[in-house]
Amino acid sequence: MITQFQGKTAVLTGAGSGFGLECARLGAKLGMNLVLVDVQQDALDKAEAEMLAAGVAVLARKIDVSNAEAMAQLAADVSARFGAPHFVFNNAGVGAGGLIWENSVADWEWVMGVNLWGVVHGVRLFTPMMLAAAKADPSYQGHIVNTASMAGLLTPPNMGIYNVSKHAVVALTETLYQDLQLVTEQVSASVLCPYFVPTGISQSHRNRPAELAADKPTASQLIGQAQSDKAVSSGKISAADVAQKVFDAMSNKQFYIYSHPQALGNVQSRMEAIVQGINPPDPFAAKPELGESLRQALRNM
């Protein structure tokens, strides 16, 4: 159980908005040193100013988490300023929808670059630092939280590229947890699987790099964008609520973190189908009107 946060160091990617920003705010209240990472300079500057005003030590870096060299430099900067971090929130993420065969190579490279490779870089760079700190200090406690999604446990249609990236994060984090269990009692991991929560992810194309510019959106991508905007904006659980769940889970070394446990019925149906070897269940069984609406929209393109 982790009970001490004051004076500890946390690295947070995607810290300019959403879960990353709310976790940083909680960290500031707890007196933590904060490493803020975001690709959007104005949001990063605003977050940095807020945390400095709260009286905590801050290191802010504008970084594309998919960039291996930039992330390696970040790890070096963190080590030089604070030493090994105690907490790492691999949180940066982007969203993209559309029928899976309509996604371009650039779509895949952008989404997998941020959602998966960003987590990969965070894990491969910071875990060795944390393990070295644990070996040097028996009182050291570390924890890594990777942000996946309920889409990492389900396969909702018309958002396949996002599903693939988040399933990979779940698998990566489950394996990280098991690997850490083999080598240490002092460092552990959790995976965050939020459902629809009002954050900026549905507008993440605002930060899409020019070299991976999107083609003209297809009809299915426009439909997916509209659905995502509506679902995310209508969420009743706030990003601040989810951040509190994350800190509670770290305190209790809880692995799976859910914003909407009521959505687990769909996960159970999927898992039962896998075990029984039957075809994937209807993802809209609980809300057939949504499935019919999407089906009609896609067939009338």
Which residues does residue 90 pair with via DSSP β-bridges, in sequence order?
A: 146
DSSP string, 172-195: HHHHHHHHHHHH-SSEEEEEEE--
Question: The dihedral of CA 165, 169, 172, 174: what is its sign?
Answer: negative
Neighbours of 229 (CB within 10 A): 12
**Quick check: is 177 catalytic?**
no
Give which of 124, 88, 105, 125 is closest to 14, Cα–Cα: 88
Catalytic residue chosen out of the listed positions 140, 162, 195, 258: 162
Give the list of residues 6+ apart from residue 179 with CB closer than 8 angstroms, or none. Answer: none
Q: Which residues are catalytic?
A: 162
